[in-house]
Structure 1
């Protein structure tokens, strides 16, 4: 009996402990779940915060857009800057024009719209040219060199609506300068101004029809207009001089000005090149 009583006393606390462990309050489970949810939420927050900081530390889009804008602005600046004639001349001394320069420009101007046969008809041999100016001559000294028998040609010229020598330059002001500078050469010959500034074409047509002139100095556009209207005849012309090497305030030659260049080549194609190939006209580059 005593042993049985001890067994009952020893087992009673064990049963109470088991009951206490096995039987739990449902509120305790809810508390545990809430605690686990809070801990998981805090873990998620702690994991997400560094990711946000990384995005702020690496503004990749802003960093990449800046150099692209700089490159685009640099390209635009390069496109706007074009080489000027003055910049080219500052680096190298101007070279005197030669007959090959004129022939190359003729081929470039007519090459795109002409056939091979037509380009061949525009070619000029060396015999068509006078000696070119080497930049050491004045206009009078150059004319004396290329035309030593000028006095004889001047006296024998009797035809109206024509000139013995035709000088083409880029502007009216340049034409006046050349007329003044040829006083030592022209002698008793008469010079007519063939440019548009302050002179109407009808006045020039009347002067050519009524008077006799030996030298005509003017611009290619006005000369071409007079030739097309049969006011100026080139059959008596012996010399045609291009004011090739002179440069204006912008350092442009007459062939550097698109309008002057086009009018000059149109005049050469329609009237002068054929006369040069026949041997009646000589071309000179001053």
Structure 2
């Protein structure tokens, strides 16, 4: 054999092995380049998503807070504190002082053991006498405020053992026009009014309901709706209640003609 032929064969084998090495190494280089970029991009996104979820979980609804807390009966100090918080920023010291109610302005509060009828019997043992002596139109002896029309109907049904022969008027907006209620108050005589603070306030402002004959005002304080909110946990109801108290009720309470009760 010619030695030049051996050299040619060796060179050819070296070239083929080199090309094989290059072809084998190219995919490995690509894989190494892809791996760090994929890991680098995916990790921060996962962290951001988990951080957002954690923040969302921290927000608690009022129903979650109330569900964990044991029910406590309302007391006069609760009403006074809410009044101070509601009017504190926009009233002077003298005006806030005029909104203060002494203990003598309040009836015994419900301790959560009473039905509505038994509570009314306790706070108003001489109801039969008051009912018989009441002769004035456009007025009621007892005013009951609650958070909704449905709750008003529940309270009216539950007071059957107390009310006797007295007449009850519904003072809420659902399915009843205000003009209809104004006509009823003007022509008829009613002993108890049960309704929402918004409608009662509107009737008082239009002189359709006079509170000079009112002796008792009961707030449906402790009852909770499906979302576990009391009437004072609903901003609109709380505002309308305090507006009514400020404009019409607190002065009568301070004068001794109206007593407040928290049921």
Q: TM-score range by the shorter chain?
A: 0.7 to 0.9
Deviation track 1:65-122 (CA, whole Å, cap 9, x = no partner) reads 9458725752565257532233223322111111111111111111111111111111
- Aligned 8 A contact 2:67 2:228 in 1: no
Paired with 2:22 and 2:55, the residues of 1 have a C-alpha distance of 52
Deviation track 1:2-52 (CA, whole Å, cap 9, x = no partner) reads xxxxxxxxxxxxxxxxxxxxxxx9999999999999999999999999999
| 89 and 68 in structure 1: CA distance in 2 versus 1, 3 angstrom threshold | same
Superposition pairs of residues 107-118 of structure 1, within 5 angstroms: 107-118=84-95
2:220 corresponding residue in structure 1: 243
For the residue of structure 2 that corresponds to 1:123, the secondary structure is coil
| 117 and 67 in structure 1: CA distance in 2 versus 1, 3 angstrom threshold | farther
Paired with 2:3 and 2:93, the residues of 1 have a C-alpha distance of 107
| 101 and 41 in structure 1: CA distance in 2 versus 1, 3 angstrom threshold | farther
Which of 25, 38, 43 is 2:20 aligned to?
Answer: 43
| 32 and 72 in structure 1: CA distance in 2 versus 1, 3 angstrom threshold | same
Listed as ranges, the gaps of 5+ residues in structure 2 are none
Deviation track 1:215-258 (CA, whole Å, cap 9, x = no partner) reads 00000000000000000000110000000011111111111111
Paired with 1:231 and 1:123, the residues of 2 have a C-alpha distance of 27
For the residue of structure 1 that corresponds to 2:111, the secondary structure is coil
Paired with 1:118 and 1:34, the residues of 2 have a C-alpha distance of 108
Paired with 1:269 and 1:256, the residues of 2 have a C-alpha distance of 19
Listed as ranges, the gaps of 5+ residues in structure 1 are 1-24
For the residue of structure 1 that corresponds to 2:200, the secondary structure is helix
Paired with 1:257 and 1:159, the residues of 2 have a C-alpha distance of 34
1:64 corresponding residue in structure 2: 41
Deviation track 1:101-146 (CA, whole Å, cap 9, x = no partner) reads 1111111111111111111111111111110001000000000000
**Alignment: residue pair count:** 262
How well do the aligned residues superpose, as a CA RMSD in angstroms? Answer: 4.5
Paired with 2:182 and 2:210, the residues of 1 have a C-alpha distance of 11
Shift of 1:54: 16
Superposition pairs of residues 250-261 of structure 1, within 5 angstroms: 250-261=227-238
For the residue of structure 2 that corresponds to 1:179, the secondary structure is helix
Paired with 2:28 and 2:91, the residues of 1 have a C-alpha distance of 71
Relative to the length of structure 1, the TM-score reads 0.76
Larger Rg: 1
| 226 and 36 in structure 1: CA distance in 2 versus 1, 3 angstrom threshold | same
| 283 and 26 in structure 1: CA distance in 2 versus 1, 3 angstrom threshold | farther
Paired with 2:158 and 2:240, the residues of 1 have a C-alpha distance of 25
Task: Kindly report structure 1 stretches of 4+ aligned residues shifted beyond 6 Å.
Answer: 25-62
| 84 and 26 in structure 1: CA distance in 2 versus 1, 3 angstrom threshold | same
| 170 and 155 in structure 1: CA distance in 2 versus 1, 3 angstrom threshold | same
Paired with 2:249 and 2:131, the residues of 1 have a C-alpha distance of 21
Relative to the length of structure 2, the TM-score reads 0.82
For the residue of structure 1 that corresponds to 2:161, the secondary structure is helix
